[in-house]
């Protein structure tokens, strides 16, 4: 049985040679003999500085997928030139490495950061209209090589299958907007106010987190609220600290080298005042923003100490800002293990100048009734996605939820009974825009200085504007795909037989090749090209026999 293969076309020799060389390391024209394979080598230089693992992972993923995309482009170009694909073994290894990397990275990220997959789904809500335009444009661009391949196929069944698959995908993309949802597609005048910005431990991009300087930066950047975590020292002073230990955000290794793993609550307040809470920020530069600090600010960062809750409350009272904090219960053996709530309330009532209505306390559910009894003006908050009835029974006036729980319907339902919604931690403009469109009341952010500059949500459009964009995209795609297909050299309307003048005899090239390299199609007739040495040839079309020549 003769294996049917595409005829190798020999036009555009430099272009084809370059494509074949890059794709399969075959820098010579294809021959019947076994081609000489040249090795492809890739050298990777060493970086002279350290990157966080997440950045390295993203850069590696981008490099690998760019490499695969280039191979696909080369393959499409080779097919458009009528060439067979000979993928070099080094590229096969590269594809296998990319596949293994993708599977491994997906498994690791799913295990460690499972909530981040929700971020991907949320991103579709704001980018879906533009992704639709990109997807339709891509399929329109692919209509050219698909048309080339369609007209060169020798079986009607394959042609029908290819055409059906392409049209099915294209029309499915055309109709995708019918099932698309985006809160940023809103009628004119229905957009609510921008969510209130609450500085997450202050402004940690501009100054060390949970320091006086950080909270002052948050106030100066337009933050209308301040968020923190409160721990009680061994001698009963509530202070600001997020981690269980002091290792990450202080210089405890130099001051108390034997107590680096001790709980922060087991230190007295005089011991805490001995620590620097800002030197680590200059050394590690967690947000790559240290270069933006001037000399005076660097000195001030170096001199930051662990602040007390009293200092934060007075700062908030001075600037009329809201304070939301999570109160951590001291460990076993702590003197204030059982009186941690009453001690904190003493500071709020007796040692600071803030009003109770400016304080939002995030507590375990079993302690809310006690706080409600001691101070009804404190705003009770919850991190549970509970029913309205349960929230009202516990006197909850604010929900503090992860942004993955963002739902326009739920937010409206809670707002109908005067329960506001705060989402954490939102620092990207597109995610803030989505929260704005969804009707979120406030967000906890690391970047109040960036989000405050947004005058309107990104990607915001009216339904009429989106419908116009959708219809125009589909019309332009249909017209462009039809034009590209009609201009395909192998299509009937663009074939040499159609384009030749009636007086000129059709002339096609018949290449001498081995039987394995030629289509064995008895029903196709082609003309033979001869050199203009003898008399003109009568334009008869000889038939290629299925029997091999002797």
Q: What is the pLDDT of residues 192-237, one digit of tens each?
A: 999 999 999 999 999 999 999 999 999 999 999 999 999 999 999 9
Work out the average pLDDT over 6-12: 45
Residue 543 sits at φ, ψ, to 5 deg, of -100, 135
Confidence of residue 238 (pLDDT cuts 50, 70, 90): very high
- Does the pLDDT value for residue 148 go beyond 90? no
pLDDT in tens, 464-514: 998 999 999 999 999 988 887 777 665 555 444 344 444 444 443 334 344
Work out the average pLDDT over 131-160: 83
- Does the pLDDT value for residue 251 go beyond 70? yes
What is the structure's pLDDT at 245?
95
Two tokens at 419? Answer: 């329960």
pLDDT in tens, 360-387: 877 777 788 888 888 888 888 888 878 8
- Does the pLDDT value for residue 29 go beyond 80? no
Two tokens at 61? Answer: 């993923």
Superfamily of chain region 196-452: Phosphatidylinositol (PI) phosphodiesterase (3.20.20.190)
Q: Residues 6 or more apart from 535 whose CB is under 8 A from it?
A: none
Sign of the torsion angle spanned by Cα atoms 371, 376, 378, 382: positive
* H or E, element range at 273: helix 269-273
SS3 (DSSP) at 279: helix
What is the structure's pLDDT at 53?
55
Confidence of residue 113 (pLDDT cuts 50, 70, 90): low
pLDDT, the chain, mean: 79
* H or E, element range at 438: helix 429-438
CA atoms within 13 A on the CB side of 172: 8
What is the structure's pLDDT at 200?
95
Residue 43 sits at φ, ψ, to 5 deg, of -110, 135
pLDDT in tens, 406-458: 888 889 999 999 999 999 999 999 999 999 999 999 999 999 999 999 999 98
Q: Are 430 and 448 spatial neighbours (Cβ–Cβ below 8 Å)?
A: no
What is the structure's pLDDT at 218?
95
Two tokens at 71? Answer: 């191979």
What is the structure's pLDDT at 524?
40
Q: Residues 6 or more apart from 298 whose CB is under 8 A from it?
A: 282, 290
pLDDT in tens, 31-55: 433 333 333 333 333 333 334 455 5
CA distances from residue 198 to 226, 309, 454, 456 in whole angstroms, order as listed:
5, 17, 15, 18
CB atoms within 10 A of CB 213: 21
Calpha distance 129→473 (Å, rounded): 11
Two tokens at 20? Answer: 């074949």
Size (the chain), residues: 550
**DSSP code of 537?**
P
Two tokens at 242? Answer: 């997020």
For 487-535, where are the alpha helices, taking DSSP H only? Answer: 496-499
What whole-number percentage of the chain has pLDDT above 90?
38
Work out the average pLDDT over 507-532: 41
Calpha distance 94→97 (Å, rounded): 5
Work out the average pLDDT over 106-120: 69
What burial letters (b/e) apply to 378-407, b meaning 16+ CB within 10 Å?
bbbbbbeeeeeeebeeeebbbbbbebeebe
Calpha distance 440→99 (Å, rounded): 40
What is the structure's pLDDT at 504?
44
CA distances from residue 226 to 99, 315, 536 in whole angstroms, order as listed:
45, 10, 92
Rounded to two decimals, the pTM is 0.70
């Amino acid at each position: 049985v003769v294996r049917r293969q595409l005829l190798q076309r020999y036009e555009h020799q430099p272009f084809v040679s370059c494509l074949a060389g890059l794709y399969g390391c075959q820098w010579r024209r294809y021959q019947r003999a076994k081609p000489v394979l040249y090795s492809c080598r890739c050298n990777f230089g060493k970086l002279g500085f350290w990157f966080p693992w997440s950045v390295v992972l993203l850069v590696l993923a981008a490099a690998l997928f760019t490499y695969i995309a280039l191979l696909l482009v080369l393959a499409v170009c080779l097919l458009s030139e009528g060439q067979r694909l000979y993928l070099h073994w080094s590229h096969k290894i590269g594809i296998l490495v990319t596949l293994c990397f993708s599977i491994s990275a997906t498994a690791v990220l799913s295990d460690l950061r499972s909530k981040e997959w929700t971020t991907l789904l949320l991103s579709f809500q704001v980018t879906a209209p533009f992704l639709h335009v990109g997807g339709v444009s891509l399929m329109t661009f692919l209509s050219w090589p698909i048309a080339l391949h369609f007209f060169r196929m020798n079986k009607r069944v394959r042609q029908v299958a290819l055409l059906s698959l392409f049209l099915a995908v294209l029309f499915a993309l055309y109709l995708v907007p019918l099932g698309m949802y985006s809160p940023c597609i809103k009628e004119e005048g229905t957009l609510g106010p921008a969510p209130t910005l609450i500085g997450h431990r202050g402004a940690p991009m501009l100054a060390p987190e949970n320091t006086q300087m950080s909270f002052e930066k948050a106030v100066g950047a337009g933050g209308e609220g301040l968020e923190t975590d409160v721990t009680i020292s061994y001698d009963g002073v509530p202070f600001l600290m997020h981690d269980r230990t002091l290792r990450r955000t202080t210089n405890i290794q130099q001051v108390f080298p034997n107590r680096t793993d001790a709980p922060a609550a087991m230190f007295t307040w005089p011991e805490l005042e001995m620590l620097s809470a800002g030197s680590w920020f200059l050394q590690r530069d967690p947000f790559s923003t240290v270069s933006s600090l001037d000399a005076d600010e660097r000195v001030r960062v170096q001199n930051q100490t662990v602040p007390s809750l009293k200092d934060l409350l007075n700062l908030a009272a001075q600037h009329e800002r809201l304070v939301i904090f999570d109160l951590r219960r001291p460990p076993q053996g702590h003197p204030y293990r059982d009186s941690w709530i009453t001690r904190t309330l003493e500071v709020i009532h007796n040692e600071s100048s803030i009003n109770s209505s400016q304080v939002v306390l995030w507590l375990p559910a079993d302690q809310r009734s006690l706080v409600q009894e001691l101070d009804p003006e404190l705003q009770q908050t919850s991190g549970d996605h509970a029913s309205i009835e349960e929230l009202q029974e516990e006197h909850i006036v604010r929900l503090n939820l992860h942004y993955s729980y963002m739902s326009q319907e739920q937010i409206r339902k809670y707002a109908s009974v005067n329960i506001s919604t705060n989402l954490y931690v939102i620092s990207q403009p597109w995610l803030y825009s989505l929260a704005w469109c969804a009707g979120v009341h406030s967000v906890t952010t690391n970047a109040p200085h960036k989000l405050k500059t947004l005058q309107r949500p990104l990607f915001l459009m009216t339904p009429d504007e989106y419908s116009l964009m959708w219809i125009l995209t589909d019309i332009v795609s249909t017209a462009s795909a039809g034009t590209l297909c009609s201009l395909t050299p192998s299509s009937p309307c663009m074939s040499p037989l159609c384009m030749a003048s009636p007086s000129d005899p059709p002339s096609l090239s018949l290449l001498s090749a081995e039987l394995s390299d030629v289509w064995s199609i008895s029903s196709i007739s082609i003309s033979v090209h001869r050199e203009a040495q003898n008399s003109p040839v009568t334009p008869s079309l000889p038939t290629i026999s299925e029997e091999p020549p002797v």
